[in-house]
Amino acid sequence: MNVNVETSSSLRRKVTIELEPDEIARELDRSYAELRRSVHLKGFRPGRAPRQILERMFGDQVRAEVIQKLTREYTDRALSENDLKPVVAPEIVTEETDLKTALRFSAIFDIAPTLEVKDYKELKVPAPQVEVSDQQIDESLQKMREQMAPIKRVEDRNQVQDDDFVVVEMEAFEGEQPIAGSKMEPTLLKVGANVLAHGLHDLLVGVEKGVETRRRRAYPADYEEKDLAGKDVEWRIKVQDIFRAELAPLDDEFAKDQGDYASLAELREKVRRDLLVQARKDAQQRARDGLMDLILERNPVDVPQSLIEHELQALENEIVEALQARGMPAEQAREQAHKSHEELRPRALKRAHTALVVDAIAEQENVTVDDDELARAIGEIVSHSGAARDRAQTYYNQEENRTELRRALRREKAATMLFERALEQPAEEQAAETNQPASGGEERQNEPETNTGA
């Protein structure tokens, strides 16, 4: 194996690897020997098929498999021997694939910048303080009522009202030209200002059932939906049917229908506790994000472009999964996510910066994830995978995926350590520890309001 390492920038590397014919020949011999043992050809006893017959019938397949195996194996070896650690998997470019003479390819990648994280050990964040209001409880109970409520066809009117459910078909036009992706086949929608996008709530209210209605709406140039941005749009709407939800009375009988609750008061208390748990989680996450913002500000770093692209792709995949979970077809979800490509870039940059800094802190603080912790994490993932258990198990049988999970667990462990170290106790807890009365005259501190973009 001949290896040449080129440095095109402070972080970018190109490792060119060339294999000699004898190295290739050994792998070809091994592959054909394995194929001979497994394949059964008419006219030949098992394991006796001539090499030239196998080459004629399976040559392209064997050649592709050998190139893939040698590329992966020798790339790993070259990186290890030259102490090179790509921040994401290298891009492999094949340059010579005539296996009779040579196999030459290049691995192009970025390495992590040298980073010593500073000025983070003394940082403090106030303990999050949260409350749950009666209004929040009422809103949660109202959602329960709506989720359980049956819908019935409206017989005494033909015009759409707020909070109706409608079966509607619609499409957006610019002039006489339909706007791509706007056509909606007959679909059941709830007419609510907080439910429908693109101002469709205002457009639907007042529409008469069975009559095609045309309504206009202008969208600003910076509108988030690029196909509508800057356009004066005519929506052509036809409501086929109108339904209304029949909400159950909010009383003790309603509470009993929700589970083992004797009264509405008991259900309200359970809702309050659940909201409080979620509010604490959200507040803690904001505090963690605020702490990380402070650390990033104090530790600027040259972020490798390949790591930014990796995080950008991860964000797009997350959007696709979320859209598909709401019922959007996979191809449409991918198109929708890709439209946000450039808008997502600042978030991808921040996530990449965070990963580099947290990895460096984990190294400085000797944070590790042992094999037992990794096995427990994989076990939990597999056990919660439902019908995809076998696929999840197969995925984590691959060493590169186990390595990626170990890295993610290490980052989470380091981030949790940072937060717990920086978390300031509420005055009441400090007073309890020191047997001193807590001051009642100080205002409660709010958790930092930060937007990590992650």
What pLDDT, on a 0 to 100 scale, did the predictor assign at position 430? 46
Do 155 and 223 fall into the same domain? yes
Q: How far apart are CA 33 and CA 62, in angstroms?
A: 11
In a domain, 79, yes or no: yes
Q: Domain range for residue 68?
A: 2-110
Same domain (yes/no): 64, 98: yes
Confidence (pLDDT) at 434: 45
Residue 338 is assigned to a structural domain of this protein: yes
Question: Does any domain span residue 130?
Answer: no
Residues 31/109, Cβ–Cβ less than 8 Å:
no
Residues 283 and 417 in one domain: yes
Q: Are 369 and 411 found together in one domain? A: yes
* Assigned domain for 226 exists: yes
CATH number at residue 40: 3.30.70.1050
Note the pTM of the prediction, 2 decimals: 0.71
Q: Are 106 and 15 in contact (CB under 8 A)?
A: yes
Q: How far is CA 111 from CA 298, 304, 441, 445, in A?
A: 22, 7, 53, 42
Task: Please tell me whether residues 9 and 97 are part of one structural domain.
Answer: yes
CATH of the domain at 296: 1.10.3120
Give residue-wise pLDDT tens across range 244-281.
Answer: 988 889 999 999 989 889 999 999 999 999 999 999 99
Domain count, the chain: 3
pLDDT value at 419 more than 60: yes
d(CA 223, CA 265): 44
- Rounded mean pLDDT of 80-105? 85
Q: Is the pLDDT of residue 351 over 60?
A: yes
**453 within domain boundaries:** no
The pLDDT tens digits of the residues spanning 361-383 come to: 999 999 999 999 999 999 999 99
Determine the pLDDT at residue 433.
Answer: 45
Decide if pLDDT at 96 tops 90: no
Count of residues for the chain?
A: 454
pLDDT digits (tens, 9 = 90+) for 10-46: 899 999 988 888 888 888 888 888 888 887 777 777 7
Q: Is residue 171, in this structure, part of any structural domain at all?
A: yes
CATH number at residue 196: 3.10.50.40
In a domain, residue 139? The reply is no
439: pLDDT confidence band, cut at 50, 70 and 90? very low
- Measured CA to CA, the distance from residue 43 to residue 365 in angstroms comes to 66
Supply the pLDDT for residue 426. Answer: 59
Torsion of CA 24, 30, 32, 36, to 10 degrees: 180
Q: Domain for residue 132, yes or no?
A: no
pLDDT at 449 over 60: no
